[in-house]
Structures are given as C-alpha cells and as structure tokens.
Amino acid sequence: MEISNEKKKKLSRQSSSFRLRSPSLNALRLHRVFDLFDENNDGFITVEELSQALSRLGLEADFSDLKTTFESFIKPDKTGLKFEDFAALHKTLDESFFGGEGSCCDGSPETDLVEAFNVFDEDGDGFISAVELQKVLKKLGLPEAGEIEQVEKMIVSVDINHDGRVDFFEFKNMMQVVLVPSS
C-alpha cells in the first residue's frame, strides 16, 4: 500500500493517539485493542474483524489492500492474526503511516498526555464532556458507553473543580494516578 506524503500528514494529525510512546501503556492498549477487534474471542483477528473494527472507528480501508497487507502477517496454516502477529502489523503500520518513533512529537510524557487528551476532546474546546467521552467509548465498543449516567459518573470521579467536564489538568492528574507504577 503506497501512501502519499500529504495523506501521511493528514493521517498523522488525525491519529496521533494511535502512536503514544509509553511502552507499557502501548502494550496494554494494544492488548485491549486486540481483544476488542477479536469479536468472537477465539484468540485470532480475521481480516473481516479488522475491517469491521476500522470501519466502526471511521477508518475506511480498501478491503483488498487491507487483506493483502493482513495476509502477509498471518502464520502458515492459520486463519487470522494472533496477538504477536497483530503487534507486528501494528508496528509496520505505525512506521508506514506515521513514520515510526518520533515523527510528530517529542515523545515526552507531557506530549503523550496531550495527544491522549485530544482524542477525547473531540470539539477542541480544551475540555472532555460526558458526551465526548461517551462517543469515544462507543467507537471503541466499550460497554461503559451504554448509559450517559454511567459516563457522567466517570467524569465526576475526576472532575476536581466540579464544572461537569474534565480539563487537561484534571486529565493529567487522573492519568498520573492510573499510570504510577507500584513499588
């Protein structure tokens, strides 16, 4: 799949969160994504499951191009990707579409947090509302997205100034609590 430089730049802007560079967070996130894409929970992702998942995320891909790329990562005598194969595909796509490590950002923890925050702040107003959080959770196929009341409780749990939304400072505090390794 040949990608023009203009398309790479557009994809990089649209999907910078795809490549957050915290290795342990990436591994955890990639396992979660794999589990979400593996709809029948058989330990393999088929090209059909991948295509459907990308479509739900608003990332339309030509099925024949996707199938060709996908099949180059499948082990002989298998019908889908195991997690290790999926991780290799992810790494290749990251390098192909986004230039690999360090192509758009400095890789600092602060930059990674800004990238993550921007995924949820869909309207770019500097805040994450319950509706924005619900939209992202729905795109990811997470059951927590089902009831707005449940999503509002998530917001309230990190909303320090009680304005009904999460600003970057509150998001950063929440992420530090979640990501601080235990000794």
pLDDT tens digits along 115-169: 778 888 888 899 999 999 998 888 877 888 889 999 999 899 989 999 999 998 8
Class of the domain covering 23-98: mainly alpha
**Tell me, what's the pLDDT at 177?**
60
**Tell me, what's the pLDDT at 9?**
46
Name the one residue in this structure whose structure tokens are 């019908």. 79
Count the Cβ atoms, other than its own, within 10 Å of residue 71.
10
- The CA-based diameter of the chain, rounded to the nearest angstrom, is 56
% of the chain at pLDDT higher than 70: 70
Tell me the C-alpha distance between 92 and 98, whole Å. Answer: 10
User: Superfamily assignment of 109-178 in CATH?
Assistant: EF-hand (1.10.238.10)
26 vs 72: which has the higher pLDDT: 72
Q: What is the pTM of this model?
A: 0.46
Tell me the HSE value of 167 on the side-chain side, using a 13 A CA sphere. Answer: 5
- Rounded to the nearest integer, the mean pLDDT of the chain is 75
Domain ranges of the chain: 23-98, 109-178
58: left (phi over 0), alpha (psi -120 to 50) or beta: left
Contact 137, 145 (CB under 8 A): yes
Mean per-residue pLDDT for 54-81? 83
Same fold yes or no, 23-98 and 109-178: yes
